[in-house]
Amino acid sequence: MSYRAGRHFLQIPGPTNVPDRVLRAMSQPTIDHRGPEFQALGRELLDGVREVFGTTRPVVIFPASGTGAWEAALVNVLSPGDRVLMFETGHFATLWKQIAERMGLAVEWVPGDWRRGVDPAQVEAQLQEDRGHAVKAVCVVHNETSTGVASRIPLVRHAIDHARHPALFMVDTISSLGSIDYRHDEWGVDVTVGASQKGLMLPPGLSFNVVGEKALAAHGRAALPRAYWDWSAVLAANEKGFFPYTPATNLLYGLKEALAMLREEGLPRVFARHARHGEATRRAVRAWGLEIL
Ligand X SMILES: Cc1ncc(COP(=O)(O)O)c(C=O)c1O
195 binds ligand X (CB under 6 A): yes
DSSP track, 98-165: HHHHHTT-EEEEE---SSS---HHHHHHHHHH-TT--EEEEEEESEETTTTEE--HHHHHHHHHHTT-
DSSP track, 35-46: SHHHHHHHHHHH
Residues 6 or more apart in contact with residue 119 via CB below 8 angstroms: none
Smaller CB separation from ligand X, 171 or 218: 171
The number of residues that bind ligand X (CB under 6 A) is: 12
Q: Which of 62, 92, 187, 253 binds ligand X (CB under 6 A)?
A: 92
Smaller CB separation from ligand X, 142 or 157: 142
178 binds ligand X (CB under 6 A): no
Residue 236: CB atoms within 10 A of its CB come to: 12
Query: Nearest distance from residue 200's CB to ligand X, in Å?
Result: 12
Q: Which of 17, 65, 79, 147 binds ligand X (CB under 6 A)?
A: 65
What distance in Å separates the CA atoms of residue 181 and residue 53, rounded to the nearest whole number? 9
Smaller CB separation from ligand X, 101 or 130: 101
79 binds ligand X (CB under 6 A): no
Q: Contact, 135 vs 106, CB < 8 A?
A: no
Query: Nearest distance from residue 48's CB to ligand X, in Å?
Result: 22
Smaller CB separation from ligand X, 199 or 247: 199
Beta strand 143-144 pairing with 149-150: antiparallel
172 binds ligand X (CB under 6 A): yes
The residues binding ligand X (CB under 6 A) are 14, 65-67, 92, 141, 145, 172, 174-175, 195, 204
